[in-house]
Chain A
Amino acid sequence: MGDPGALALQRLPGRPTDGVELAFALRLPSDVSLVDPAVELFAHHCFAGINASRHSLFRLRVSLAEALANAIQFGNGSDRLKVVHIHAELHVDHIRLRVQDEGSGFNPSIVPDPRDPALLESPCGRGLFIIRHLAEHVEFNEKGNTIWMTLPRS
């Protein structure tokens, strides 16, 4: 099991011309036991000094947890030698999160709908579907190993 205390969030300068007040980055080892501590770290820093709604916190926590679980398990194949790169940009009213794994990527357009009756009792396959409903905007790079999620910061 990974050591949550070893998670070192890197604080990056803002880019006022792009509307970025502040940015953070973290290199996360491919260990699912570190997902919850990493999510809490980002939830704390992304909403510091803001009276955020419970709903906004829920959206960020679940979306980030889903993206990290996918990156660790499917992207990096839970290979402890690979890391997941997390980057957050704080804008005045929204947060832009980037999660990148070191895998070969996937095609997000062919992920089946988990509400299909044949899939309803499946134990997996809901992560991306949930992200697409909780985030305001979702993008992938062409390779399919990087996801950008835009979430409210209010």
Chain B
Amino acid sequence: MGLTTTARGEVSVVRVDGQLTVGNRQELKATVQAGLDAGARKFLLDCSPTGYIDSSGLGALVTIAKRVREAGGQIRLAGLNDDLRSLFELTKLDTLFAIYPGIEEALQGF
């Protein structure tokens, strides 16, 4: 997995390349935590280059979302492919996350 963080105004856009799994979930947690520590409060996870996410990756996203909310921030997801979208629907995690088709849609009103 490769993570790239860019700023779009107040929003930290974290691009998640490859897979988010039990083997690398801590990297994403650390990246978002570093953003929180630096004062960022709006996070957009760009999953358009994400191949697959396992349950550990989903669990990491749940933990990250909780930390961001507790810090008074918001998190959005964008660019999920059909398989990933169905995984969120299957586990009902689509009810916990604000999910947008693409980055630009997610940035609107953020």
Given that A114-B91, A120-B92, A130-B91 are known contacts, is A69 also in contact with B62, CB under 8 Å in the complex? no
Band of interface residues on B: 20 to 34
A115 at the interface (CB under 8 A from B): yes
Chain A residues, CB < 8 A from B96: 120-121
Report the bound CA distance from A61 to B51 in whole Å. 10
B4 at the interface (CB under 8 A from A): no
Q: How far is the CB of A2 from chain B (nearest CB, A)?
A: 10
Beta-carbon contact of B19 and A69 below 8 Å: no
Q: Which of A32, A61, A124 contacts B52 (CB 8 A)?
A: A61
Q: Which of B23, B55, B93 contacts A124 (CB 8 A)?
A: B55
Number of interface residues of A (CB under 8 A): 27
Q: Which residue of A lies closest to B65 (CB)?
A: A121
Mask: chain A, 15-58; 1 = CB below 8 Å from B; 0 = not? 00000000000000000111110000000000000000011001
Further 9 A-B residue pairs, CB within 8 A, beyond A33-B23, A121-B66, A130-B91: A34-B23, A62-B54, A62-B87, A65-B52, A123-B59, A124-B55, A126-B58, A127-B56, A129-B55
Sort A-B residue pairs by CB-CB distance and give the 8 closest, nearest first: A123-B59, A126-B55, A127-B55, A69-B22, A58-B83, A65-B54, A115-B92, A36-B23
Residues in chain A within 8 A of chain B (CB atoms) = 32-36, 54-55, 58, 61-62, 65-66, 69, 73, 114-115, 120-127, 129-130, 133
